[in-house]
Structure 1
Amino acid sequence: MAKPSWQPPAWAFGVVWTPLYASIAWASGRALVRSQGREHCALAASLGVNLALNAAWNVLFFRRRSTAAGVVGTVLLDVSNAELIRRTARADAVAGAVLVPYAAWCAFATALNSDIAYRNRRARR
């Protein structure tokens, strides 16, 4: 599989994802405790969808070995991240801000996945 020169080394992904998952857990917990009623339910649903999309990308890209499906997955995750940050920030501004690095890393992943898909689509022609 052709990869861009700007792809981080494999070890970097674990180093980055560990604190990002911790920040998702902390921010989500903080916001869920501070939300009530419909806002609480909507935030919980947004978080559930976001985590499902996060997990789905791994299946699409690695298990199915589909770079194109991975791009679709990361774009959906980016949209979900914006929604999750919006809902989280509505419940607690600090928690919403804590999710911004997660969204930024996912946007980077979208660019990386898109570049890999493009390089490998051209290579198969």
Structure 2
Amino acid sequence: MIAARTQPATGLSLVAAATIVAGVMGVSALVGRRNAPDKSHPGIRGWYRRLDKPSFTPPDAAFGAVWPALEASLAVGGYRLLRAPASTSRNLGVGLWLLNTGMIGGWTELFFRKRALGASTAASAMMMGTGAGYVVAASRVDRPAGLLGVPFVAWLGFATLLAEQVWQRNPDRGAAAA
């Protein structure tokens, strides 16, 4: 009886898990939106457009299509983990899920608002590592949850290369020049 109280046999309820996922993803989206290089942020948009970017930079519309899909995959993965029975492995997966969703908004703050090109490149590389850790940890608990994180890690590999190239091509347009 005591073990049942300290180690629940099931994860969070459908409503609790969905509420947590909606809250976490909503905060991440709000932070990202605050730093978006769009018409509502002309200073950020102008700075981003003036950057020297490599030829493999996707068009703006691609970012608008890719990120919602990646975030939806992360949301479903996080939901599945929260619904899984409580365990140390599940808690590690949830912790890494929270870290990665938080880092998405943090990256936009570093790159777009603070214009810290070197720091945002390092953050992107760190996210690739924590994202891979999430995939491994989540897969141990719920294989589909882990697999849902694979596109995120793949995108981060590309994004890290892109961020590094932007940083190298724009030594005078980073935070010190802002």
Alignment TM-score > 0.5, same fold: yes
Aligned amino acid, residue 125 of structure 2: V
Question: Alpha-carbon deviation of 1:108?
Answer: 0.6
In structure 2, the residue matched to 1:53 is 103
- Deviation track 1:66-115 (CA, whole Å, cap 9, x = no partner) reads 11111011011111101110111001112211211111111110010001
Q: State the distance in 2 between where 1:45 and 1:88 align.
A: 10
Task: Structure 2 unaligned segments of length 5 or more: list them.
Answer: 1-50
In structure 2, the residue matched to 1:24 is 74
Alpha-carbon contact 2:90-2:137 (below 8 Å) kept = no
Aligned amino acid, residue 60 of structure 1: L
Question: Alpha-carbon deviation of 1:39?
Answer: 2.2
Aligned amino acid, residue 121 of structure 1: P
1:1-125 equivalences in 2 (<5 Å): 1-121=51-171
Larger helix share, 1 or 2: 1
Task: Structure 1 unaligned segments of length 5 or more: list them.
Answer: none
Identity %: 31
Displaced runs of 4 or more, over 3 A? none
Q: State the distance in 2 between where 1:24 and 1:43 align.
A: 12
Question: Alpha-carbon deviation of 1:122?
Answer: 7.8
Aligned amino acid, residue 5 of structure 1: S
- Deviation track 1:42-62 (CA, whole Å, cap 9, x = no partner) reads 222111111121111101000
Larger radius of gyration: 2
Alpha-carbon contact 1:28-1:47 (below 8 Å) kept = yes
TM-score (norm 1): 0.91
Q: Report how many aligned residue pairs link the two structures.
A: 124
TM-score (norm 2): 0.65
Q: State the distance in 2 between where 1:59 and 1:90 align.
A: 32
Q: State the distance in 1 between where 2:69 and 2:111 align.
A: 22
RMSD of the alignment, in Å?
A: 1.7
Aligned amino acid, residue 40 of structure 1: R
Q: State the distance in 2 between where 1:122 and 1:56 align.
A: 22
Question: Alpha-carbon deviation of 1:33?
Answer: 1.5
